[in-house]
Amino acid sequence: MKSQLQDLLRTALATVLAGTDVPAPREILVEPAKDKKNGDFATNLALTLAKPLGKPPRAVAEAIVAALPAGGIVSKVEIAGPGFINFFLAAGALQQIVVEILNAGDAFGIDRSGAKGKAMVEFVSANPTGPLHVGHGRGAAVGDCMARVLAAAGWQVTKEFYYNDAGNQIANLGVSVQARAKGIKPGDAGWPEDGYRGDYIDDVAKAYLAGETVTADDRAVTAKADADDLDAIRDFAVAYLRREQDLDLRAFGVKFDVYYLESSLYADGKVDSTVAALQASGHTFEEGDALWLRTTAFGDDKDRVMRKREGGYTYFVPDVAYHVNKWQRGFVRVINEQGADHHGTIARVRAGLQALDIGIPKGYPEYVLHQMVTVMRGGEEVKLSKRAGSYVTLRDLIDEAGRDATRYFLVARKSDSQLIFDIDLARAQTNDNPVYYIQYAHARVSAVFRQLAERGLRYDAAAGLAALDQLTEADAVALVALLGRFAETVQSAAQNLEPHVVAQYLRDLAAAFHGYYHAVPFLIDDEALRNARLALALATQQVLKNGLDLLGVSAPDRM
């Protein structure tokens, strides 16, 4: 509906702007009306053109309305306030939405063409030093849903996990496992100062001493069972914990296309070549025996050290090399989903990419940062995991609340807002639980059709579509209008990197359907009206299914 109204407005503008030097706007804003008494959709087009045309907004609005093609999907047009144009859709336009949904099925509102180009979503990217915590879980939910939405909005999407398998944290992992392998426990003399204390470290040590072979997505490592071979212990521990993280993500319904190793950037010389290119660009300088990048030239608040005086690169340097590699792989849109603590890296990574002057756009990469998650049970905060020791793991949350509820709850709010995850609410089979409420709407449609069969009746699809003009109740009209906004919701979520709007849309859609279900009986004697209402129910169920799939949440037929 929105795109069709935009086309009508473009046709009108060809008349309104004829003979002027005012260009037609590239984008025409058409939004759903906030109050149904003001129509179904509205545009502020006249207000945006008033100044360029040198006319009052209402006069421009009157000219646009006069030039609109007659008939079609619009039954009435009104001018409101200073010059807003309100559209009332014809009944036939709303009926056509139901027809389109039932014809398109799983493809309704979805564009799988990939025509917008190659996009990458990098998310989770946890150090392989322990189990995934609930913060990683929020990143996994947001990142995976974002990738699904982008793919449904016409992008060729790659999901990538960047393993930080180099640096001090990996070194600490190795000595922690080695200490456990030698019988040293946290608190004992000889325990590493920065050692990892969770029980999982003991699990890794026992598996190493037993000579086990572990297989992660990209490697298989057999333990040497030698407690003095730190390199072997470290390699085994990384593989062991990568496998554990893979299992966590698999239980969460998340699968990556690419696993990229930080160590490969050094092994393949990409870090050194990037530093050399930055030096050649003229944007580096040496001071205090350190190599600096003049990031202030690109909007950063201060210049940044690249190579420390004692040797070794600072952590943002391999990040720059990694994003050069993303660009070279042809990704025109790159989104990094990370925790809010990564905020400080944004300016320096973008500055490094701009300093290279190789054609990378200024806003590359895009960042979506998520805030912390507080887990509650019984009105009290849950802080510790028996397995991890210091935090709640993603696996704990899935075991407690189930995959569907965990995914929905972690993505349902805007990622930059703090999130309270109430385990009791997530497990509740009541309308207060939003994921249950949505899934129940989907299952309720299936229940209606089971009741239909039990009464010896059948659904006549052709008769239902032919009788859609009988759906004149306010609840039915509102429900159909909301169904028509699904494609727009998907595109908006992809453009703004906000998968939570899909979750909110589904809750609104479930509420509209439940309201309609309670307002009118479906299984009535009037065959034509019965089939029309059943057609609308099936259309609603289809959109609920399509939307839940974008969130990675199941659409059950029974509950």
d(CA 292, CA 279): 10
- From 215-219, 254-258, 372-376, 492-496, the region with the lowest mean pLDDT: 215-219
Tokens (6 digits) for 132 = 């995934």
3-state DSSP assignment of residue 367:
strand
Q: Mean pLDDT throughout 168-192?
A: 94
Angle, CA 378 vertex, CA 375 and CA 379 arms, to 5°: 70
Q: What is the largest CA-CA distance in the chain?
A: 88
Amino acid at 360: I
Confidence of residue 153 (pLDDT cuts 50, 70, 90): very high
pLDDT at 434 over 90: yes
- Give the domain ranges of the chain: 2-89, 168-254, 431-551
Q: Mean pLDDT throughout 233-248?
A: 93
Q: At what angle do helices 474-483 and 500-519 cross, to 10 degrees?
A: 160
**b (16+ CB within 10 A) / e for 77-107:** bebeeebbbbbbbbeebbbbbbeebbeeeee
Q: Which long-range contacts (CB under 8 A, 24 or more apart) does 100-105 make?
A: 101/483, 101/539, 101/542, 101/543, 102/461, 102/465, 102/535, 102/538, 102/539, 102/542, 105/542
pLDDT at 70 over 90: no
Higher per-residue pLDDT: 411 or 478? 411
User: The domain at 2-89 falls in which architecture?
Assistant: 2-Layer Sandwich (3.30)
pLDDT at 402: 96
Contact at 8 Å (CB) between 155 and 368? no
DSSP structural state of residue 499: T
Contact at 8 Å (CB) between 467 and 528? yes
Higher per-residue pLDDT: 311 or 456? 456
Contact at 8 Å (CB) between 305 and 337? no
Confidence of residue 385 (pLDDT cuts 50, 70, 90): low
d(CA 333, CA 344): 21
For domain 431-551, the CATH superfamily is Isoleucyl-tRNA Synthetase; Domain 1 (1.10.730.10)
pLDDT at 388: 63
Contact at 8 Å (CB) between 230 and 174? yes
pLDDT at 446 over 70: yes
pLDDT at 384 over 80: no
Average pLDDT of the chain is: 94
d(CA 540, CA 428): 24
pLDDT at 389: 66
Nearest Cα to Cα of residue 345 among 68, 67, 122, 50: 122
pLDDT in tens, 473-493: 889 988 998 999 999 999 999
pLDDT at 344: 85
pLDDT at 165: 82
Confidence of residue 89 (pLDDT cuts 50, 70, 90): confident
pLDDT at 386 over 80: no
DSSP structural state of residue 308: -
Q: Tell me which H or E stretch contains 440.
A: helix 434-454
pLDDT in tens, 101-134: 999 999 999 999 999 999 999 999 998 888 899 9
Angle, CA 558 vertex, CA 557 and CA 559 arms, to 5°: 130
**Number of alpha helices (DSSP H) and beta strands (DSSP E) in the chain:** 21, 17
Q: In 424-474, at which residue ranges do the beta strands (DSSP E only) sit?
A: none
Confidence of residue 398 (pLDDT cuts 50, 70, 90): very high
Neighbours of 535 (CB within 10 A): 26
Amino acid at 47: L
pLDDT at 127: 87
d(CA 441, CA 532): 18
The residues near 217 (Cβ < 8 Å, ≥ 6 apart) are: 242, 246, 256, 259
C-alpha distances (whole Å) from 431 to each of 384, 425, 428, 507 are 30, 10, 8, 11
DSSP structural state of residue 364: P
d(CA 91, CA 110): 24
Confidence of residue 38 (pLDDT cuts 50, 70, 90): confident
Q: Do domains 2-89 and 431-551 have the same CATH topology?
A: no
The residues near 459 (Cβ < 8 Å, ≥ 6 apart) are: 449, 452, 531, 534
Read off φ and ψ for residue 131, nearest 5 degrees: -65, 155
Nearest Cα to Cα of residue 154 among 533, 495, 503, 540: 495
pLDDT at 331 over 90: yes
Tokens (6 digits) for 543 = 């959109």
pLDDT at 313: 92
Contact at 8 Å (CB) between 128 and 162? no
pLDDT at 59 over 80: yes
d(CA 539, CA 103): 10
C-alpha distances (whole Å) from 150 to each of 113, 121, 156, 157, 553 are 11, 9, 8, 7, 17
Confidence of residue 387 (pLDDT cuts 50, 70, 90): low
Q: Mean pLDDT throughout 363-367?
A: 96
**Cis amide leading into 365 (omega within 30):** yes
